[in-house]
Structure 1
Amino acid sequence: MDPKKIIELVEAALAADYPRVRKAANAIARVMGDDGQEEGATALRSLLRKKGVPLRASGHMEQLPVDVKSRLPLVEEQEWPVTPIFINEPAHMAIADFVSDAQNLEEFSRNGIASRLAIMLSGPPGTGKSLLAGHIASQLNRPLYVVRLDSLISSLLGDTAKNVRAVFDFIPTKNAVLFLDEIDAVAKFRDDRQELGELKRVVNTVIQGLDSLDDSAVVVAATNHSQLLDPAIWRRFPYQLEIGLPNETVREALWNYFLFGDKDPEGVSKILAVISPNLTGADIERISLAARRRMLLNKNELHLGEVTTAIINARTSEGHTGERRRQGALDNKEMARHLQQHGLNAPQIAKLLGVSRQWSLRLLNEADNG
């Protein structure tokens, strides 16, 4: 363990600087994990995630901006994520470029080529936009402040714009990453005739707030509905990244991590990746964790047939993830036909359905014969 990390933690604690304490402790947890002390690293991260304990004995309580009427905080500081990010290679390169530009801002400024450090993430739900914001904050070693839309958007005319201004007045003092999730809720196209004049004023306030930030401020915004955003908002985000569904390589990594804990000697993850082209990372995580929970509760081996059923039904009206469905919910012949359509052969189908190769061939013959 690097003594400097211990010294940094102690200095931050003695100074009652809670954000520094968390940064230093997270750094120590990462080192512990890299050194194979995963149990200790997990315990330390769990301690850091606990609510209501930050340096209260020392009297340190961070004053967050609040809604005047409800007194609810408008932003909340969130922990850096411990779950790895799984995204396609072009998206990975785009994020790496953004982080690199942020880390070298001073050099760019000296040469007159600095840019606003604001990135817009767009794409369907469950593709990892929120997780990406956390990883950006972690790589930049900055706190992550997330805007709470439930508090920000007030039912009283005029208060929403005031709340937006309060957030942008607060952030410059924190050297943090500001995450504006679901930004379309407060930044819709101003020519939308369905919206009241108040919402149009809110958009103007958001634009003014973004313009008020200096070059060192880092803003990450995310939207599931990019077509709703006002064009002027887009112009405030020189970095723009559309995150789509994971490709087959990424899906394989997701199944391997969430379903097998990175221990898949038989290569089942690769087969599951082939049959799940329409799933998001969040879908794969939910299906995987549901299967592992049942495995632990029932004290038996992982049931790949149930996982396969959940994948097949994940986008049907019968259930988004199929978490509680059983293999019997689909006929084996139907499943075999579906898997064959994805290019799987008899041995691969047998592995997923938990049947013999001969039985798999019989199912395929029955499916072919209707």
Structure 2
Amino acid sequence: MAADYTAVRRLGGQIAKRMAEQNDLEGAKSLQNLLRKRGVPLQASGYAEALPRDAGSRLPLIEEGQWPTTPIMLGGDAGRTISQFIEDAQHIGLLAEKGVSARLGLLLYGPPGTGKTLLAGHIAASLRRPLYVARLDSLISSRLGETAKNIRGIFEFVPSRNAVLFLDEMDAIAKLRDDRHELGELKRVVNTVLQGLDSLTDDVVTVGATNHPHLLDPAIWRRFPYKVELNLPDEDVRASMWEHFLFLGDDGRKDDGRLLARVSDGLNGADIENIALAARRRAILSNQDSSLAHILLAVGASRSGNPRLLDNRELDTADKKTLTRLLHDKGGISQSDIAKIVGVSRQMVHRYLKETLDG
């Protein structure tokens, strides 16, 4: 009623998250799509959020992200560090009162598709704070003198918002200052980033992300007390992903999820999600279930960052041979089980494998 679009998005995000938790994924996504319309009716009533903008292009330097409806699946040290980070951020007032407050900076690094952006959104949702996303590669102005000004604008904007600041693509700017190939201006930009991080008060939550950690200046590393390397998912996490994205939590498909987890070794979380959603789309549009054989073939042909989406065409002999070898090498199942999945006799499975060995 007050035309406060930020509050509308925040509350709408909370509702969408709850809908997703209750397995109403379509409803959650529909609500998120409505929220992404940027509040045109509210702007018509005189309200518009004053985001910092590039002086030349007039494009926003920062955008308000949405709390995600897709779950994040972490294990091991990464999961423990994230839990500790969230707990510390939730009790920053108590820690400050006791004189042990710490800078709430978390650096996420690892290959693309491992969930860095998704994780930043979940941290904001856990803390019930808005998420502001600054992609540092987009802050670089063609007029080099404007780049440092853009960065300062980001760090001046966020502290009063009680938000999570997500600095994506940090390697775009925060490169090694002694790199002889960098212009002097970009070296000064690194110092602007450092000064901006130092200017933040202890209650500001900052999450940085990079796919190329080796490019970051050591001084940048020191500004983030919490560091998490997000690697490709292990077998247990892959199994959970297949169960969630493909089988929608059906306990009767756990064995299939585990088989897919073994075969998809080397794929990232985004690859698994894309293949699973493609399989569900084909099933809906063809009005028939996608066979496990087709999904396994798509997985076997995929590479990290380049998933192969499946179709429902009939398997030919070459497909069956490829699938047999894949299940034998990676599936860890018997020839009888391979025969059931491929749709051939056990003797034919033996023949396919013998041809491979003879070849």
TM-score normalised according to structure 2 size: 0.91
Alignment of 1:18-167 (within 5 A): 18-32=5-19, 41=28, 43-53=30-40, 55-149=42-136, 151-167=138-154
- Cα distance in 2 for residues equivalent to 1:330 and 1:264: 32
Aligned CA distance change for structure 1 residues 251 and 166 (closer, same or farther; 3 Å): same
Deviation string, structure 1 residues 217-251 (Cα, Å, up to 9, x no partner):
01100111100000000000000000111011100
Tell me whether 1:312 sits opposite 2:300 in the alignment.
Answer: yes
Deviations 1:69-109 (A, max 9, x none): 00010001111100001222321221111010001011111
Gaps of 5+ in 2: none
The equivalent of 1:9 in structure 2 is: none
Distance 1:274 1:192, change over 3 A: same
Between 160-169 and 24-33, report the one with greater CA deviation. 24-33
Which of 181, 190, 205 is the aligned partner of 1:218? Answer: 205
Aligned counterpart, 2:239: 252
Q: CA deviation at 1:159?
A: 1.0
Structure 2 match to 1:11: none
Which residue identity does 1:55 align to in structure 2? L
Q: Secondary structure at the match of 1:260?
A: coil
Please state whether the residue corresponding to 1:265 is helix, strand or coil: helix
Q: Which amino acid aligns with 2:303?
A: R
User: SS of 1:25's equivalent?
Assistant: helix
**SS of residue matched to 1:158:** helix
| Among 280, 286, 289, the residue aligned to 2:277 | 289
> In 2 relative to 1, CA 287–39 (structure 1 residues): closer, same or farther, beyond 3 Å?
closer
Q: 8 Å contact 1:295–1:303 — kept in the other structure?
A: no
1:314 Cα deviation (Å)? 1.3
CA apart distance, 1:296? 2.4
Q: Between Structure 1 and Structure 2, how many residues are aligned?
A: 355
Match of residue 268 from structure 1: 256
Is 2:17–2:69's contact at 8 Å kept on the other side of the alignment?
no
Mean Cα deviation higher: 248-257 or 298-307 = 298-307
- 2: distance between equivalents of 1:51 and 1:18? 8
CA distance in 1: counterparts of 2:20 and 2:72, whole angstroms: 17
Question: How far, CA to CA, are the matches of 1:125 and 1:40 in structure 2?
Answer: 28
Deviation at 1:162, TM superposition (A): 0.9
Matched-pair contact (CA < 8 Å) for 1:188–1:203: yes
Residues 221-236 of structure 1 aligned to structure 2 (within 5 Å): 221-236=208-223
Tell me which moved more, 258-267 or 110-119.
258-267
Percent identity, aligned pairs only?
54
**Cα gap change, 1:89/1:352 in structure 2, threshold over 3 Å: closer, same or farther?**
farther
Q: Please say which of residues 358-367 and 230-239 is displaced more in the overlay.
A: 358-367
Matched with 2:158 is: 171
RMSD of aligned alpha carbons: 2.4
Question: How many angstroms apart in 1 are the aligned matches of 2:341 and 2:99?
Answer: 58
Shift of 1:333: 2.3
256-265 or 203-212, which deviates more: 256-265
Whether contact under 8 Å (2:106, 2:228) holds in the other structure is: yes
Corresponding position: 1:277 with 2:265 = yes
Q: Which moved more, 1:352-361 or 1:266-275?
A: 352-361
Taking the aligned partners of 1:332 and 1:184, their CA distance within structure 2 comes to 44
Conserved? CA contact 2:17–2:68, under 8 Å: no
Greater displacement, 95-104 / 25-34: 25-34
- The letter for the 1-side match of 2:10 is K
Letter in 2 for 1:176: A
Contact 2:137 2:173 in 1 (8 A): no
* 1:188 alignment counterpart: 175
Amino acid of the residue matched to residue 69 of structure 1? Answer: G
Residues in 2 aligned to 1:130 and 1:87: alpha-carbon distance in whole angstroms:
14
| Match of residue 360, structure 1, among 349, 352, 357 | 349
Change (3 A) 1:42 1:157: closer
Q: Distance in 1 between matches of 2:68 and 2:133?
A: 13
Distance 1:35 1:74, change over 3 A: closer
Aligned residues of 1:123 and 1:225 also touching (Cα < 8 A): yes
SS at match of 1:15: coil
Tell me, yes or no, if the aligned pair for 1:333 and 1:366 is still in contact at 8 Å.
no
In 1, are the aligned partners of 2:14 and 2:67 still within 8 Å (CA)?
Answer: no
CA distance in 2, matches of 1:338, 1:42: 35
User: CA offsets per residue over residues 230-288 of structure 1, 9 Å max, x none?
Assistant: 00000000000001110111000111112222226232111000111101001111111
| Distance across 2 between alignment mates of 1:53 and 1:351 | 55
Gaps of 5+ in 1: 1-13
